[in-house]
């Protein structure tokens, strides 16, 4: 985004901001004036009745007048405050990056437990800004110094290019208008009908313009970081963040369980390597799956594929699949690394305890499910689906790979060719060190449409990469990508049923999704009949007026957009392997959304 493009874009957003604020001020003033007009224009008792009838308009008018001047969202600065004496190596690295970017100095630096880095600008009295950096210790503990330097250069670019404060203003305006839309949807009065009509027209268009600006800022920041740190370093940083975040997510339960009370950040600092990915081939398959994600209209950042394409990254480049050695934490924090990890563990002790308790509860729920299947097995023969589930639970809970393989083989004698049983046996053969047998089984699974088809294609691509057959690996990869990017089907052959979560698991899920459940008509969790990923279906709330406007303008409802944005933030927090979709009224998948599948807190 060069200056010739940036300036018209800012003028455009500025015009939309002025339009919105102008309508709020004019509309609010008009509503506030209604009681005065009623008193001035109506005679006697009619004037008193008119004032009484228009008092609700006065309340709405005051709310509208306050909205453009409402305080921005909470900007508390949380985390471990860092001083130069705490981490001189880190500050020296930051100084070098800031000088190279010609960026203003930072006013504060905080260390937190996120796998991320972010610089935010807060306006202060007198028109000055406060520049604050939040830096995640897990990010420093997983990535190389060159990758972290590129990520920090990207963040510095936001304030060096002077779009940081402007982007913050646009961000706060987005939140304010979304709150106005929600408030109007909750308080349906005749006096606010004209405002609701304007909001339904204005909010989707303002969001589209402002989110497009936010994505352009991210692309520009990537380009600036690539200019300073080099294009290979920026491409490595983006790829490493995607790969190492997945590796850390998979390892997090073990890090929480490494001590009591849990000290995951100290445990991460003490480990040299994580269990996965096992090699570059597995990392490349992970990356292929991540590259299938597309940029949605409600995203503030472009997708990984779009960002790498903008950098013209070489698809055949070597991937940073291993945990870096040395990591940025080892290089920049040196002797303070262990003490900072211990301080962060102390700071996040309550959160870590909650996460550890959730992991224990999930394991207890799986154990109860396993014992229930074993009791059923003593009474009667298990179905093919139950046998596949029982085999997976034995392998997961008891680490009994041989026993799980025997269960799957027994099930296949009764149900030859059952995809879930074949997939479970393939996983066992892979863990037993028989990759050729596993590949043959995955090949049989890939012929069956259903939840196991995509994992089987990814596993076949992995097997071909490890065997050195890159042409075959690319063929499987293209088939898997096409399947992953295809729209979900809603026919009976998919075989989805209500979820099988325990009350405790359902309660945890409902707590995590609570912000979404508050604004959606409903959410339902479904499980496939033959195993695989859960499907979360969310029905966005809609009003007749919004549907009419949508049919007239072709614009998606702002309520649907709110659901999409919340889903994007909440899905990474779920422990379940979930694929989510937003539905509208009339969606054929509503036939699956029975009361037993609804996501809600147990009574």
Q: Which two tokens stand for residue 527?
A: 């499980």
Confidence (pTM): 0.78
pLDDT of residue 577: 74
pLDDT of residue 133: 94
Q: What share of the chain is helix, strand, coil (3-state, %, to 5)?
A: 65, 10, 25
Q: What is the pLDDT of residues 258-295, one digit of tens each?
A: 999 999 999 999 988 888 899 999 999 999 999 999 99
Q: How many CB atoms lie within 10 A of CB 208?
A: 16
Q: Please tell me the distance from the alpha carbon of residue 459 to that of residue 355, in angstroms, as a whole number.
A: 30
Cβ-based neighbours of 420, under 8 Å, separated by 6 or more: 384, 385, 388, 389, 452, 530, 531, 532
The crossing angle, in degrees rounded to 10, of helices 435-445 and 419-431 is 160
- Is 597 in contact with 526 (CB distance < 8 Å)? yes
Cβ-based neighbours of 229, under 8 Å, separated by 6 or more: 146, 149, 150, 153
Q: Please tell me the distance from the alpha carbon of residue 224 to that of residue 212, in angstroms, as a whole number.
A: 19
Q: Which among 505, 502, 499 is positioned nearest to 359, based on CA atoms?
A: 505
Q: What is the 3-state secondary structure (H, E, C) of 296-350?
A: CCCCCCCCHHHHHHHCCCCCCCCCCCCCCCCCHHHHHCHHHHHHHHHHHHHHCHH
Q: Please tell me the distance from the alpha carbon of residue 432 to that of residue 126, in angstroms, as a whole number.
A: 67
Q: Which among 301, 302, 286, 181 is positioned nearest to 239, based on CA atoms?
A: 286
DSSP codes joined into one string, 334-400: GGGHHHHHHHHHHHTHHHHHHHHHHHHHHHHHHHHHHHHHHHHHHHSPPPHHHHHHHHHHHHHHH--
Q: Please tell me the distance from the alpha carbon of residue 143 to that of residue 230, in angstroms, as a whole number.
A: 16
pLDDT of residue 264: 96
- Is 139 in contact with 150 (CB distance < 8 Å)? no
Cβ-based neighbours of 414, under 8 Å, separated by 6 or more: 381, 384
b/e code 456-490 from CB counts within 10 Å (16+ = b) = bbbbbbbbbbbeeeeeebeebbebbbeebeeeeeb
DSSP codes joined into one string, 500-529: ---HHHHHHHHHHTHHHHHHEEEEEEEEET
pLDDT of residue 571: 82
- Is 109 in contact with 236 (CB distance < 8 Å)? no
Cβ-based neighbours of 422, under 8 Å, separated by 6 or more: 408, 412, 441, 444, 445, 452
Q: Where are the alpha helices (DSSP H) in 113-192?
A: 137-142, 145-160, 164-186
Q: Please tell me the distance from the alpha carbon of residue 513 to that of residue 509, in angstroms, as a whole number.
A: 6
pLDDT of residue 488: 57
Spans in the chain with pLDDT lower than 50: 1-5, 71, 490-493, 551-554
pLDDT of residue 188: 63
pLDDT of residue 221: 92
- Is 405 in contact with 428 (CB distance < 8 Å)? yes
Total residue count of the chain as it appears in this document: 603
CA distances for 521 relative to 28, 188, 539, 587, 600, angstroms: 30, 17, 5, 14, 12
pLDDT of residue 1: 45
Q: Please tell me the distance from the alpha carbon of residue 319 to that of residue 237, in angstroms, as a whole number.
A: 10
pLDDT of residue 492: 40
pLDDT of residue 13: 84
pLDDT of residue 545: 56
Q: Which among 71, 242, 81, 98 is positioned nearest to 158, based on CA atoms?
A: 98
Q: Please tell me the distance from the alpha carbon of residue 105 to that of residue 356, in angstroms, as a whole number.
A: 38
Torsion of the alpha carbons at 357, 362, 365 and 369, rounded to the nearest 10: -160
Cβ-based neighbours of 405, under 8 Å, separated by 6 or more: 391, 425, 428, 429, 432
The crossing angle, in degrees rounded to 10, of helices 453-467 and 435-445 is 140
């Amino acid at each position: 985004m060069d200056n010739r493009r940036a300036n018209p874009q800012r003028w455009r957003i500025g015009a939309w901001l002025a339009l919105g604020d102008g309508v709020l001020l004019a509309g609010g003033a008009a509503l506030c004036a209604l009681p005065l007009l009623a008193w001035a224009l109506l005679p006697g008792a009619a004037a008193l009745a008119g004032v009484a009838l228009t008092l609700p308009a006065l309340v709405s008018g005051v709310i509208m007048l306050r909205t453009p001047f409402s305080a921005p969202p909470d900007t508390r600065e949380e985390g471990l405050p860092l001083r130069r004496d705490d981490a001189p190596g880190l500050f020296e690295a930051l100084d070098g990056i800031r000088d190279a970017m010609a960026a203003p100095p930072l006013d504060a630096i905080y260390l937190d437990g996120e796998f991320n880095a972010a610089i935010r600008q807060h306006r202060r009295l007198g028109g000055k800004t406060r520049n604050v950096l939040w830096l995640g210790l897990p990010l420093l503990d997983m990535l190389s110094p060159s990758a972290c330097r590129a990520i920090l250069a990207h963040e510095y670019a936001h304030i060096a290019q002077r779009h940081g404060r402007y982007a913050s203003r646009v961000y706060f305006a987005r939140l304010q208008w979304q709150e106005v839309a929600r408030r109007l949807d909750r308080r349906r009065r005749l006096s606010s009908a004209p405002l609701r009509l304007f909001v339904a027209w204005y909010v989707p268009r303002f969001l589209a313009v402002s989110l497009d600006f936010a994505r352009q800022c991210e692309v520009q920041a990537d380009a600036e970081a690539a200019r300073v740190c080099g294009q290979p370093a920026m491409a490595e940083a983006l790829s490493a963040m995607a790969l190492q975040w997945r590796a850390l997510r998979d390892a997090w339960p073990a890090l929480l369980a490494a001590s009591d009370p849990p000290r995951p950040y100290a445990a991460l600092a003490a480990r040299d390597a994580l269990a996965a990915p096992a090699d570059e081939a597995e990392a490349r398959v992970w990356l292929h799956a991540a590259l299938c994600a597309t940029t949605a209209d409600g995203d503030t950042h472009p997708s990984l594929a779009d960002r790498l394409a903008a950098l013209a990254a070489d698809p055949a480049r070597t991937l940073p699949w291993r945990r870096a050695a040395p990591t940025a934490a080892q290089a920049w924090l040196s002797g303070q690394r262990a003490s900072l990890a211990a301080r962060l563990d102390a700071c996040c002790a309550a959160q870590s305890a909650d996460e550890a308790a959730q992991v224990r509860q999930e394991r207890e729920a799986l154990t109860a499910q396993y014992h229930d299947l074993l009791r059923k097995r003593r009474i009667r023969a298990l179905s093919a689906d139950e046998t596949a589930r029982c085999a997976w639970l034995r392998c997961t809970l008891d680490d009994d790979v041989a026993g799980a393989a025997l269960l799957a083989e027994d099930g296949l004698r009764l149900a030859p060719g059952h995809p879930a049983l074949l997939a479970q046996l393939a996983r066992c053969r892979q863990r037993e060190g028989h990759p050729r047998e596993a590949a043959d089984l995955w090949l049989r699974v890939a012929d069956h449409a259903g939840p196991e088809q995509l994992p089987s294609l990814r596993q076949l691509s992995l097997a071909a990469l490890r065997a050195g057959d890159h042409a075959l690996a690319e063929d499987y990869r293209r088939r898997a990508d096409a399947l992953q990017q295809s729209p979900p089907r809603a026919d009976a052959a998919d075989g989805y049923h209500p979820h099988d979560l325990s009350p405790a698991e359902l309660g945890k899920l409902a707590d995590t999704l609570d912000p979404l459940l508050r604004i959606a008509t409903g959410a339902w969790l479904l499980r496939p009949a033959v195993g695989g990923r859960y499907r979360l279906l969310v029905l966005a709330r809609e009003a007749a007026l919004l549907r009419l406007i949508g049919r007239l303008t072709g614009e998606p409802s702002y309520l649907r957009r709110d659901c999409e944005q919340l889903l994007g933030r909440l899905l990474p927090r779920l422990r379940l392997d979930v694929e989510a979709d937003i539905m509208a009224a009339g969606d054929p998948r509503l036939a699956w959304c029975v009361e037993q599948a609804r996501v809600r807190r147990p009574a």
